[in-house]
Amino acid sequence: MKSVTVLASGRGSNFQAIIDAVSTGELRVECAGLITDNPEAYAIERARAARIPVSIVDYHRYPGKGEYEKALREAMEATAADLYVLAGYMRILGTGIVRHFPGRIINIHPALLPSFPGLHAQSQAIGYGAKVAGCTVHFVNEEMDAGPIIVQECVRVLEDDTEETLAERILEREHKCLPRAIQMFCDGRLRIEGRRVRITGSG
């Protein structure tokens, strides 16, 4: 069975979706650990409730980004996971980490990339007047929110949507998309060809 380590910075609702999918058998993987940069993250409580090992790599305890990233890479290596999942991890991974785990890091973003990368994607979509928003699971490369796309899901943008209401509806789709993408990776069904991700087989 393949193993997955999750990196999260906040409340960890996508992390919980992974935990729940594992518990129901929908996701056939082992969760090897949670790594967080935030010692106050609620994701830590979720991990402890599920008896998942936690590693706290607090950015503010290191003199610079280089030292932090060295510690982060060591924490990732220590879990020996097959796949690393960024689920609300609020720091951009450095080139060294991305190159050290090629094709083994995925991220979920609350927009239909390549539209609206970066922070506050839901607000960006509303401000632009988009009629459709959604979420994207993609491989992580050396550019922000720019790696090859694995899966996407759409939601309509309603006339009276706020950033919060749109985010909540997108989050419901994220909770379905992310476990599905993880399982496809762990089943060996994803093949990166340039900018495209080929999905093979069925399931």
Active site residues: 109
Cα 73 from chain centroid (whole Å): 17
Q: How many Cα neighbours within 13 Å face the side chain of 203?
A: 18
Cα 197 from chain centroid (whole Å): 17
Amino acid letter for position 89:
Y
Maximum separation of any 2 CA atoms in the chain, in Å = 48
Say how far apart CA 88 and CA 10 lie, in whole Å.
7
Say how far apart CA 95 and CA 69 lie, in whole Å.
10
- Kindly state the tokens that stand for 29: 């993987």
Q: What is the dihedral of CA 97, 93, 170, 125, to 10 degrees?
A: -140
